[in-house]
Chains A and B, each alone.
Chain A
Amino acid sequence: MEKGTVSQVDTGLTQMALNRERTKVPVRFVSQLNWKQNVTGYVFVLPWIIGFLCLTAGPLLFSLYASFTDYNITSKMNFIGLENYKRMFTMDDMFWTSLWNTIYYVVFSVPLTTIGAIFVAVLLNQKVKGMRIFRTIFYLPAILSGVAVYFLWMQLLSPSTGLVNQFLHIFGIEGPSWLFDPNWTKPALILMKLWGVGGGMLLYLGRMQGIAPSLYEAADLDGANSLEKFFHITLPMITPIIFFDVVTSTIGSFQIFQEAYVMTQNGEGGPSNSLLFYNLHMWNNAFKSFDMGYASAMAWFLFGIIMVLTFINLKAGRKWVYYEGGDGK
């Protein structure tokens, strides 16, 4: 009797069991469904993709090709193989000067600005009254940019009337002729760069304020002094930011152009070519001598250098960067 009652209650479950064959979803239909859902996303990204292909990737590949030709925009583009590269390394003294100038600038400005930014961030991380105002003041120079800043510094660095030398005079130091003395032009630019540490400082400060106070308390209990606390707690915790800062600063410093172009007359590279940076030399070749093929070769060589350095940075970064959320490897 119970059996018959059970089979009369039609819950449709048996139906479902039988229908499983028919409702089996074919694989092709599933990927079509996913694709339909994704196409909207692709459409939204489409403008950027078109822009990237037409305005960035396309010209990049064109300039790669142009570096093997004697292209001069308007009249010729003959394939000349490695001629441009040969000329760059063996026949152009200015190339080596510009490379040396750029490397000098990178080697000094990147560590100095990083250390400067960390130092200022540490100063501002104290619980002192009026700290917000100090933070704003230190950050202000980083907002200013462009030609006006360069002109401002040209006035400040003026040998006899500039404020920098007058300030040094108070201490009895006879300031050098900054932008007119070939030995002091690059240090002058590095000084100018240091004035803008506010930008990096903000990143470090943000990170420092996110460090758990419990770490410091633990250190206090163990009897650590402030220097030890800095080197063993603060510094390791901000290594991700340092890493980011060093990588981006290196890439950016290699590309220095504006300062040299504005602060030297006609962009010719300053006294004894001491401000002839790589990009400026490339610019002169491209737009003064119209030697586009050669300039493209220079551009790709710079790309190669920066690529290699960034790769080294990334590889080395794994050794000294501590990511809190990671495995601590």
Chain B
Amino acid sequence: MKKMVGSLFLTVMIILATILTGCSGKDVSASSKGKVVVDFWTFWGSETRRPVIDKIVNDFNNSQDKIIVKHTFIPWGDIWTKNLAAVAAGNPADVVINDINSVSQRAENNQVEDLSAYIKANTFKEQFYTNLWDTVLYKGKPYAVPFTTDTRLLFYNKDAFKDAGLDPNKPPTTWKELEKVAQKLDKKQGEKYTRIGYYPLFGGFGAPSWLKNADDGMGFVEDGKLKIDTPKKVKALKWLVDWQNRYGDKTIQTYEAEFSNGQTNPFIAGKVALYTDVGTFYTQIRDSGTKMNFGVTTMPAFDEKSKPWSDGGGFVAEVPKGAKHPKEAMQFIKYLTGEKAQKYWAEKNYDNVANKKAAETVMQGLTGDAKVVYQEAVKSLQYTTLSPVPIHYPDYQNRINPFIDRAMKGKMSPDEALEKAEKDVEKMKQ
């Protein structure tokens, strides 16, 4: 009898303990002192970004007394899966910073709230660059608000230009000019390249970006239709294969390794004369201490009739589906993407922000190289297209890349590669 009571007691205690530990994570998002607590998740935890976002949050909290925003840092990579799990479990955060190119994918999959009910004024969207606002629309309704963006620029080494007898104030503007300039800037020592003038696939532009640049800024999927096998894209792929053949596998792999091994960027070290990267690359040059004499310009255009199409991405603030306080969340988002917060963010982080007025005001406050780069970035934003994930072909990039790869390795002709790529993506239509 004693043993029976003892075991029964033990059973009850164990079951109680298990239940209690499971319940302990109950969030206190209910009103504290009558204020609504808005949960805000970001992946900005670095020394540079964290204080900036914290100050913006504090300013908002102090500016009114109905809402308290609680900022939680969730590491990059974890935040996407955590957000997804929270939405599926029904207790997500109220505001999340997420990637701009997949907004419509999330909208289709019921992971974000439709914000049109909380945006009364038609003029709200005019604060932002049109290409950014278009990317957050799904079936004509906004499902997120753009926060930051970026664009790719062509950086070049002015001293190298002077050495090679080129005008350092006249960077190349078309593909043909770029090729000529790059070849003049190559430096060889026997069989090895001690300096490469330019290689299109180093830095922020990949093969898809070049193909888009050639094809009037049109991506692989336009309006739900596949535009992979187009004449201009085939020409672009041939052009890339020529570059690869000129330098050879070994050289390119060696330089690629140097770009990714975390030591000094080869452009800053003078081993590469022209380099593609986002506008914020300027901070790397500035912090390297080399006092490099560099110039920056928009990406080259396919030919005289084309525009300097560039690639962009960015981040948005969105309200996950099932958030407890969407109205208050939207109020915070309006502040976050308003001129004051955006100007502060742009100043402190040297980031391109989505708010047009903020971007222009910030530019006026900058001086020297910082101003030059920012100006070029803002100019490039006009020709920057984003790459939103197409709803019916969410896996399209992974299916196209192997074919581009084979063309670059010479295993397939560029025509054949893009033709087969288009057929393959069509097969995987969802």
Give chain A's interface residues, CB within 8 Å of chain B. Answer: 36-37, 39-40, 43-44, 46-47, 50, 72-75, 91-94, 97, 154-155, 158-161, 177, 179-181, 265, 268, 271-273, 284-285, 287, 289-291
Contact = CB atoms under 8 A, between A and B. Distances in A.
Contacts of B18: 47, 50
Contact of A159 (B7, B109, B257, B321): B257
Interface in B102-142: 105, 108-111
Contacts of B394: 289-291
A284 B108 CA distance: 19
B85 to A, nearest CB: 8
A290 B112 CA distance: 14
Contacts of A43: 7, 10-11, 14
A289 B10 CA distance: 46
Given A43-B7, A47-B14, A287-B84, 5 more contacts: A37-B3, A93-B402, A160-B257, A287-B80, A290-B84
A273 B7 contact: no
Interface string B1-29: 00110110011001100100000000000
17 contacts: A37-B3, A43-B10, A46-B11, A72-B109, A74-B84, A91-B428, A94-B398, A158-B257, A160-B258, A177-B254, A177-B256, A268-B398, A272-B402, A272-B405, A289-B394, A291-B394, A291-B395
DSSP majority for the A interface? helix
A180 B256 contact: yes
A37 B262 CA distance: 63
Given A161-B263, A180-B256, A75 B109 contact: yes
Contacts of B87: 73-74
Interface in B396-426: 398-399, 401-402, 405, 409, 424
A161 B261 contact: yes
Contacts, number: 96
Contacts of B4: 36, 39
B261 A177 contact: no
Interface string B69-103: 00000000000110010011000000000000000
A46 B395 contact: no
Contacts of A158: 257-258, 261
A93 B262 CA distance: 33
B405 A179 contact: no
B209 to A, nearest CB: 15
A290 B107 CA distance: 13
B426 to A, nearest CB: 11
